[in-house]
Structure 1
Amino acid sequence: MLRHIRISVRSTRGMVDATSLLLGLEGLEVRGVSRQVDRVRVVDVVTADPDAARCPDCRMISTSVKDHTVTRPRDIRYGDDPIMLRWNKTRYRCGNLECARATFTESIPQVPPRRRTTTRLRTQIGRDVGEAARSVVEVAAGSGVSWPTAHAAFVEHADQVLGAPQPVQVLGIDETRRGKPRWVRDSDGRRWVRVDPWDTGFVDLGGDQGLLGQVEGRTSKAVTDWLSAQSQEFRDQISHVVIDPSAAYAAAVTDTLPDAQVVVDHFHLVKLANDTVTAVRRRVSFDAHGRRGRKQDPEWANRRRLLSARQRLSHRPFAKMWNALIDNDPTGQILTAYIAKEELRQLLSAARDGADDAEIGYRLYRFYTWCADADIPEITRLATTIETWWPAILAFLRTGLTNARTEGYNRLVKQVKRVACGFRNTENSRRRIRFHCTRAQRASIQHFHC
């Protein structure tokens, strides 16, 4: 049997109240504290809440004691040494003859019936798992509970915090990879099929609700199903939807939200222009040398400068790149693609410059004219893409809306997945991700109430 080292607790009422206040569990009163040889501090508590003697069904206070029992609910840690609560509880008989419950045991809000953990411990576990994006295994080990207990505590805490999305004005839609691609057999079992798992996220870009939800896949049907599941008020409130140049997303938004304006994120348009420059550079290099580019080739040595914005290059590196390509690319296609990319960047910068429609039309004319005169397949394809998405691009130039916040939440999504080492249950994955991506909203609400 373990030896107990008794710590003196004065029997005065003030010292007992002070110790109970230090413990901080409302409804419980500390009667004594002892320390075992393994440095575990045992805190003996009794019930101090008069409502604990009420029957859970009929709410009548009982004075008929049946027997006593002792439970040991787990609580938060205090310092390095663990603490064990020893709660001396009373079991009552219900005095109401019409009540179906014969007996009941004392319970308080901090320790509900049939709970082996305190409410504040479960709340702390929920915050550690959700807000700090820590793994359930790590939090469970630090709190001295099992994985199912820690996960159930997080689910309970998340369900209390997370609710249905509120109406938004600006909605952001983007995809993120859920896992590694894998190969599986098709329905007939005859051939292998590549499965590339993706999730589509919906973000409040005009408010502070963060990530509103996720669905599996990045198809038009996935977006349509999520939007259809929301209320009519939610759909009517949306005025702009910011997406990547994705035909599937655009079709879903057009069908489900006919009054909403589609806006294309400019970052992906610049990426398309950079990809055009890279494609032209690789083709010209292969035509000239019959191989891929090498470090002695000027077009390969200047590949980073070709992708940089003109205003980010000082005069010397820009002149070095320009002269090298003039001397070594007799076709002039690489610099032509570079100028087309810069013309597109100049067009997109109209949103930052606050240009009017006349200036936007002038910059668009310059871009189209340069692409038409170049007569290069890659540049023509870029101009065709801009023409296809022009209404959505014009909406960006007038509003300046981007998907930058959505991309930021994608980083948080990847962080949660990385910490959890992957998810096998999609419901658990979406709950963890959404909880972690709504921290700013909860922080602002708590600050407002304070």
Structure 2
Amino acid sequence: MDKPSFTTPGLDAFCLLDTLNLTVTGQAVDVDHAVLECRTSTEFQDSWCHECGAEGIPRGTAVRRLVHVPLGWRPTILHVRVRRYRCPDCARVWREDLTQVGAPRAKLSRSAVLWALKCLVIDRMSISRIAAGLGAAWHTVNTAILATGQQLLVDDPSRFDGVRVLGVDEHVWRHTPFGSKYVTVIIDLTPIRDKTGPSRLLDIVEGRSKKVFKTWLAAQSQAFRAGVEEIAMDGFAGYKSAATEELPDATPVMDPFHVVALAGSAVERCRQRIQQETLGHRGRSGDPLYGIRRVLLTGANLLTKKQTSRLEAVLAAEEHTQVDVTWWVYQRIVAAYRDPDRTRGRDRLKSVIASLSAGVPTALKELTTLGRTLKRRAADVLAYFDRPGTSNGPTEAINGRLEHLRGTALGFRNLGHYLLRALLDTGGFRPLLHSHLR
């Protein structure tokens, strides 16, 4: 702001009280906190009886204490003087309505809750750190954030509007001594497809199975299901079956990452099998195949001259022929996806699938398994080339952000809390929060 327009200094505006219809009447500043005494603005006094409409008689005041936005790096507390009235006609007694200042029985002002949400969603702070900044208890802050997030985001009836491209994947939300706890995450990939913004988390459902995803789809409105055009997924057959049964008109798209991962897994299993057959033990330092384990999974066009020479020297050995053939198929799949011409890339990958569908020697066990999988999901694999922008990559990105969230919170025990926190963190809440902070 090169030439700002100055106005008369206002403590109410500086302390973010004007939006709450409060005015400061006193202050007490201590080393570790500050207290602001406030009253409601005169024009917003609630002095009329709601029963008979008569004007009430003042009957003194009561003090309501609310945690406010920290000012000057100090936790700030509001002492709001609430006027009490008595109706001379019907003898009804009431207090001023402070709903605009804070929710009923809440311990945080609405400005403090929005400040906490901003710290959580935009600044990626932990609840503990936010509570320390506010000078409030952890449970007080956590309850306020989850309640407001539930109201603004989860209970929003338009949250599922306009979804045309879905992404689905599994996610570990909790590690226990008795095994990991899985959930199914459903992502809205429509903004990625339309190039209008990032993907957003739609929902998290406990479990990972066909039944879980099928039940979730069946619970959605008919308008939502009719609007879904594509579903990006990995190689799990359960998600494919659920999508086919509930959304027969939607096109399943198998993500390139998982197709390449399947081919890379075939290379790894082949290398390990040949390692055992030739040397009789698992890979060790100095073993030829073990030494090129990472080079085998690198794209051929990204290899250095030294890596290429080393790779060729190892694969040239007769006992490593099966690894060489499997690696060559893997490189063909990678090259098909990297082809700048999507039509040509589709034809190249279709050719690879056709070559693996029949005539593969029985000795190449890994390629046989890969060929069966690609043949069964050929339509889903090739659909990627006809629908640019439909990929499960953004779904994996959101999974990564959920991992970061779990680490920041040092783990979760309550799945409901985890769902709310995940939706706040990755559910497209930032634009909505910015609009409330203006």
TM-score range, shorter chain: 0.7 to 0.9
Asked whether the equivalents of residues 55 and 104 of structure 1 are also in contact (C-alpha less than 8 Å), the reply is: no
Change (3 A) 1:200 1:319: same
What is the CA–CA distance in structure 2 between the aligned matches of 1:299 and 1:126, rounded to whole Å?
A: 52
Asked whether the equivalents of residues 340 and 367 of structure 1 are also in contact (C-alpha less than 8 Å), the reply is: no
Aligned to 2:370: 382
| Aligned counterpart in structure 2 of residue 170 of structure 1, from 153, 165, 181 | 165
| Aligned counterpart in structure 2 of residue 395 of structure 1, from 375, 380, 383 | 383
Aligned to 1:228: 218
Asked whether the equivalents of residues 180 and 197 of structure 1 are also in contact (C-alpha less than 8 Å), the reply is: yes
Change (3 A) 1:66 1:275: same
Change (3 A) 1:290 1:175: same
Larger relative contact order (CA 8 Å, sep ≥ 6): 2
What is the CA–CA distance in structure 2 between the aligned matches of 1:146 and 1:358, rounded to whole Å?
A: 57
Aligned to 1:93: 86
What is the CA–CA distance in structure 2 between the aligned matches of 1:331 and 1:114, rounded to whole Å?
A: 73
Aligned to 2:194: none
Aligned to 1:109: 100
What is the CA–CA distance in structure 1 between the aligned matches of 2:333 and 2:49, rounded to whole Å?
A: 70
1:427 aligns with 2:416: yes
- Percent of aligned positions that are identical: 24
| Aligned counterpart in structure 1 of residue 235 of structure 2, from 231, 236, 245 | 245
Q: Residue type of the partner of 1:389? A: R
Q: 1:40 Cα shift? A: 4.6
1:412 aligns with 2:405: no
Considering only CA atoms, is the larger Rg found in Structure 1 or Structure 2? 1
Asked whether the equivalents of residues 275 and 281 of structure 2 are also in contact (C-alpha less than 8 Å), the reply is: yes
Aligned to 2:139: 148
Within 5 A, what are the aligned runs for 1:44-443?
Answer: 44-54=37-47, 57-58=50-51, 60=53, 62-95=55-88, 97=90, 101-105=92-96, 107=98, 109-111=100-102, 113-162=104-153, 163=156, 164-183=159-178, 195-207=179-191, 208=197, 210-327=200-317, 329-330=318-319, 332-349=321-338, 352-356=340-344, 359-360=347-348, 363-364=351-352, 367-368=355-356, 372=360, 375-400=363-388, 401-439=390-428, 442-443=430-431
SS at match of 2:386: helix
SS at match of 1:355: helix
Asked whether the equivalents of residues 54 and 60 of structure 1 are also in contact (C-alpha less than 8 Å), the reply is: no
| Aligned counterpart in structure 2 of residue 20 of structure 1, from 8, 12, 20 | 12
Asked whether the equivalents of residues 265 and 402 of structure 1 are also in contact (C-alpha less than 8 Å), the reply is: yes
Asked whether the equivalents of residues 28 and 49 of structure 1 are also in contact (C-alpha less than 8 Å), the reply is: no
Change (3 A) 1:165 1:369: closer
What is the CA–CA distance in structure 2 between the aligned matches of 1:415 and 1:392, rounded to whole Å?
A: 31
SS at match of 2:174: coil
Q: 1:112 Cα shift? A: 5.1
Change (3 A) 1:55 1:211: farther
Change (3 A) 1:289 1:149: same
Q: Residue type of the partner of 1:206? A: T
SS at match of 2:267: helix
What is the CA–CA distance in structure 1 between the aligned matches of 2:115 and 2:10, rounded to whole Å?
A: 24
Which region of structure 1 is more displaced relative to structure 2, 150-159 or 82-91? Answer: 82-91
Q: Residue type of the partner of 1:88? A: R
Change (3 A) 1:94 1:367: farther
What is the CA–CA distance in structure 1 between the aligned matches of 2:97 and 2:432, rounded to whole Å?
A: 37
SS at match of 1:317: helix
Q: Residue type of the partner of 2:334? A: R
What is the CA–CA distance in structure 2 between the aligned matches of 1:392 and 1:105, rounded to whole Å?
A: 62
Gaps of 5+ in 1: 1-13, 184-194
What is the CA–CA distance in structure 2 between the aligned matches of 1:370 and 1:314, rounded to whole Å?
A: 34
Asked whether the equivalents of residues 346 and 385 of structure 2 are also in contact (C-alpha less than 8 Å), the reply is: no
SS at match of 2:167: strand
What is the CA–CA distance in structure 1 between the aligned matches of 2:258 and 2:207, rounded to whole Å?
A: 20
Q: 1:436 Cα shift? A: 0.3
Asked whether the equivalents of residues 337 and 345 of structure 2 are also in contact (C-alpha less than 8 Å), the reply is: no
Q: Deviations over 1:63-89 (max 9, x none)?
A: 401122233322111113444433333
TM-score by length of 2: 0.86
Q: Deviations over 1:97-144 (max 9, x none)?
A: 3x9x53324536124554443210122123323444433233222211
What is the CA–CA distance in structure 2 between the aligned matches of 1:348 and 1:371, rounded to whole Å?
A: 24
What is the CA–CA distance in structure 2 between the aligned matches of 1:448 and 1:112, rounded to whole Å?
A: 16
What is the CA–CA distance in structure 2 between the aligned matches of 1:371 and 1:448, rounded to whole Å?
A: 63
Gaps of 5+ in 2: 1-6, 192-196
